[in-house]
């Protein structure tokens, strides 16, 4: 008789820095900002739609030129993020931030330095209002972690 082994697969969540490094490598694949913007738009279009019941005044992020809804909850010592925007590039920015912070412990989020923004030169290729919106999204998430 053959012996059966039980699979001991464990799923590790990538760290915030590992995810940032992946994003940097992704953006390095593109030669110009036109292609990078297209990639951002595609990322935004891949976001699952936010349920209508979660699009409230409480989930609306202030400081964004376009409308951005961000629903944050915590479970099993990690944050769970859902979001949506009514603007294409902002949706892409939101997708990047959700990718980095979703399923991460609040303490890790509080201490995170988002170096990918400088490394891919994102801020210098955004309008001032979009850059402000990006930082408003990040701040909303970091503010939530203080409550956890």
Whether 148 sits among the annotated catalytic residues: the reply is no
Average pLDDT, stretch 110-118? 97
Strand-pair partners of 84: 69
Give the per-residue pLDDT at 9. Answer: 54
Helix (H, G, I), strand (E, B) or coil at 60: strand
Query: What is the pTM (predicted TM-score) of this model?
Result: 0.89
**Residue 112 contacts residue 68 (beta carbons within 8 Å):** no
Catalytic residue among 40, 43, 61, 64: 64
**Residue 102 contacts residue 81 (beta carbons within 8 Å):** yes
Which pLDDT band, with edges at 50, 70 and 90, does 64 fall under? confident
Give the per-residue pLDDT at 5. Answer: 47
**Where is 110: in which H helix or E strand?**
helix 106-111
- What does the pLDDT look like over 24-33, one tens digit per residue? 999 999 999 9
Average pLDDT, stretch 44-63? 96
């Amino acid at each position: 008789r053959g012996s059966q082994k039980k699979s001991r697969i464990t799923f590790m969540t990538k760290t915030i820095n590992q995810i940032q490094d992946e994003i940097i490598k992704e953006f390095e694949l593109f030669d110009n900002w036109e292609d990078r913007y297209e990639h951002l738009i595609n990322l935004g279009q891949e976001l699952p739609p936010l349920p209508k019941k979660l699009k409230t005044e409480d989930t609306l992020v202030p400081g964004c030129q376009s409308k951005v809804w961000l629903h944050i909850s915590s479970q099993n010592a990690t944050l769970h993020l859902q979001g949506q925007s009514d603007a294409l590039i902002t949706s892409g920015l939101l997708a990047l931030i959700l990718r980095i912070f979703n399923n991460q412990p609040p303490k890790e989020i509080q201490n995170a330095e988002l170096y990918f923004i400088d490394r891919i030169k994102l801020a210098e290729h955004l309008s001032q209002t979009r850059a402000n919106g990006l930082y408003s999204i990040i701040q909303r998430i970091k503010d939530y972690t203080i409550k956890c």
